[in-house]
Structure 1
Amino acid sequence: MKQRNLQTLYQAHPTKDGAGVKILRTAIQSNLQAFDPFLLLDEIVSDDADDYMAGFPEHPHRGFETVTYMQEGRMRHRDHMGNERVLEPGAVQWMTAGRGVIHSEMPEQTEGKMHGFQLWLNLPAKEKMQPAAYKEFSASEIPIVNLGTHSTVKIIAGTLSLEQDAVSGPIQGKSTQPDFYDVHVAAGETVTLPLKEENTALIYTFEGRLQIRETVRTAQLLPHSMAKLSQGDHVILHAEEVGGRALILSGKPIKEPIVNWGPFVMNTSEEIEQAIYDYNQGNLV
């Protein structure tokens, strides 16, 4: 067994997107190949409605998948395929943009806390022009596994294989073989999570504090930081006087050229130009 260690640590930075929504962004465009197949992770977290009420009005995507995971608050999704749903706390939306999707995500509340994540996951060239697809899963459809005495993990995508059992999340059958976990490590506990050895693996800490137990040191993970892990088949996480929560992301690298422009992610500049032309001509979807 080979233990994964901290390779690089990135801090999320504040920015705005949509119609002016304040977000924390871990932008990895500066070195996309190193994070392959992941493209972007955004976190919305605010008690002030002025920070999120403008929402994300109608906009396009092509060439990748978006994963929206709500913690608190409610967001209404609408798209050109006729899907319209309200994401409740704990729900997950998995949207394959493929050839093209036009959608909006707007707050379904005028006060209170809004807390959620959106992950961008790349598609291989042969799948970029597939028809768009949309799936949504409520909190009750996402399995929760106990780890240790008080620690837990929610399995959104992939399969978590532990000694006693293997538990699968609702998202399966993707070519990038994504594992997407929401892990809570209780104060004073240590958990070991298996990860596919060949996959890129990331940890985004969003609550409390966590440590990566390594062979020669302990790496500290503060809130709103993204850790890229070295190669290996498992990671050991520990929480001391306070517990911590993090998203664990693992995916199979695509190993193809990546060219991105705003809401489009393709393999060549010519394909980006075609996406822009198609959208302007009303032929994206």
Structure 2
Amino acid sequence: MDPLADALADPGSSPAQLRALLRAELEHGQQELARKRSGYGRPVTVAVAPGGTAVAPVAPQLRADPAAVDDRAWTLVAALVGALVAAGADAESLTAGAQDGYLALHLVNADAELVALAFEEQLAGVDRLRARALVVPELAATDLRAPIGDGHPLLAAARIAALGGMPADPASVEQFEELLFDRAGEEATRPHDDPDPARRIARRILQRLNGMGKWGGYHTEFTHLARGFAGNDRKLAEAVGEALLDDGLLQSKPSVGQRHVFLNPRRAADIHALIERGVLPPTLRLP
């Protein structure tokens, strides 16, 4: 049985009936995403409506807090963002809000029918997750606003998709993240000009991760922190990376035997103060 799909195929279905059935699908999807294998008995559902609005079974708090969702939920959202952009949406128009307690997204000019097709392509090859996108006549998203912070992973996902990447595929993200950072531009305060070597490197590492959207959902190998540094600076960059981890500005997670790191959303104020003004948190001990 597939009550929502059946109701969508029935011209007599009322808006209230469709919304209730969608709410049930989103609740099921949220439960599935907490399992080790999601959507294998019944796929996780996202919905998209004409005009470029979509809803996914994850916490709407993601707009403000990249740590509000786990990796599986983030993969689903990244694929949805990628599908919206692939379907013609303006990547820079992304806003996020809520519908019935779940994350709603809106990107201008997305073709809903194409989103449903592109979503399947975006998830091709993703392990332990089976999901589908259904086109619904309308969605009642509220409080649609831009994600907080220009380096937010939602914005990074949209920009990676606009560059031709697949934001739910880590290999594709890695392929495009350098270009993403290059297009982010320099901070007005130019961390490169900081006269203190360790602080300069710390600011550049954090600036780079922010430009690539490495908050919560997106992360990178610890060894990548030293990229772009040479000679003694490279060894110092490795030590600075450890100091940033020790202080909690960066957080780590194991990933297929590699240590991956990401910016700690709970320390966003300290991170931006260090990047933009060179202000060191009192607890940070640089080498």
Same fold by TM-score greater than 0.5: no
- Compare the two structures and name the one with the higher helix fraction: 2
- Compare the two structures and name the one with the higher strand fraction: 1
Higher relative contact order (CA 8 A, sep 6+): 1
TM-score (norm: length of structure 2): 0.31
